[in-house]
Amino acid sequence: MSANDRGPDFIIIGAQKSGTTSLYRYLTEHPRVAPAATKQVDFFAHESFRRGYGWYLAQFPQDRGKETLTGEASPYYMFHPHAPRRVFEFDPRIKLIAILRNPVDRTYSHYQHQVRNWREPLAFEEALEAEEARLRDETARLLADETYDSKLHRRHSYLARSRYAEQLERWYAHFPREQLLVLNSEALFEDPEAALDRVSAFLDLPPLRLDEYNTYMPGSYWKDMRPETRRRLIEYFRPHNRRLYELLGTEYPWDV
- What are the pLDDT digits (tens) for 46-65? 889 999 999 999 999 988 88
Is 4 inside any structural domain? no
CATH of the domain at 180: 3.40.50.300
Is 36 inside any structural domain? yes
H/E stretch holding 86 reads helix 83-90
Q: Are 183 and 195 in contact (CB under 8 A)?
A: yes
Domain that holds residue 232: 10-248
Question: Does 154 have pLDDT greater than 60?
Answer: yes
Q: Are 246 and 229 in contact (CB under 8 A)?
A: no
Is 149 inside any structural domain? yes
- By DSSP bridging, strand 10-14 and strand 69-73 are parallel
Is 256 inside any structural domain? no
Please, which residues bridge with residue 245 across strands?
A: none
H/E stretch holding 100 reads strand 95-100
Provide the pLDDT confidence category of residue 2 given band limits of 50, 70 and 90: very low
The whole-number pLDDT of residue 1 equals 31
